[in-house]
Amino acid sequence: MSGNSKQQIIVAAGITFERYGFKKTTMDDIAYAAGKGKSSLYYYFKNKEEVFEAVVAYEAENLVNEINTAISGSSSAVEKLKSYMSVRMKRFVKRGNLATALNDNFLATFSFIEKIRDNYRGFEIELIAGIINEGIEKKEFKAVNAAFTAELILTGMIGFEVPLLTKSTTFEESVAKINSGIEMFFYGICT
């Protein structure tokens, strides 16, 4: 059963990467956390970067589910967009792999981060644009260009992440900033 062991490794690696960051995590650490020998990792992954890539992909998938759950709870487009942004940004701050990846100078240059980001971006743009269109129909939002506005919001969120990551604040402070930041986002777009 390749699926089981591989999954085990990905989960163990996720915990370890989150704790120590990419650079400080050794293949031995991951193997130990997964309860396997180091060289077994190389049966499933080519190298450390590939393990990290798998972890990030796995967590991105989880994030999608979390977002869908959060969205399904609310009926108005405003609430949907708010809960989407809240989940998305809190998750970004708390679960540290993507955060670490961007924070770490060592990883900033890694091209696969950009790749994953780009892949994921498409999904996000579509999601946001869909909500905006719904909001326009319901007259909650102005009649803007949905796709363009979605790009704008996503860009804004990403831009907003940077000071949250570079400034070393507590999680609670970050959440407070996120919430007030999200509120600000809606002043310009609501009818």
Stretch that binds DNA, among 1-9, 91-99, 116-124, 151-159 (CB under 7 A): 1-9
Cβ 129 vs Cβ 80: under 8 Å: no
CB of 56 to DNA, least distance (A): 16
For 32, other C-beta atoms within 10 Å of its C-beta total: 14
Question: Is-contact 109 134, C-beta < 8 A?
Answer: no
Residues pairing with 141 in the sheet: 190
Beta carbon nearer to DNA, 43 or 123:
43
Which 10-49 residues touch DNA, going by CB under 7 A? 25-28, 36-40, 42-44, 46-49
Residues 44, 94: Cα–Cα separation, whole Å: 28
User: Smallest distance from the beta carbon of 35 to DNA, in angstroms?
Assistant: 7
Closest distance of CB 126 from DNA, Å: 35
From CA 11, how far away is CA 28, in angstroms rounded?
A: 15
By beta-carbon proximity to DNA, the closer residue of 3 and 159 is 3
DSSP letters along 8-69, please? HHHHHHHHHHHHHHHHH--HHHHHHHHTS-HHHHHHH-SSHHHHHHHHHHHHHHHHHHHHHH
Which CB sits closer to DNA, 20 or 148? 20
Residue 69 contacts DNA per CB under 7 A:
no
Give residues in contact with DNA (CB under 7 A): 1-2, 5, 25-28, 36-40, 42-44, 46-49
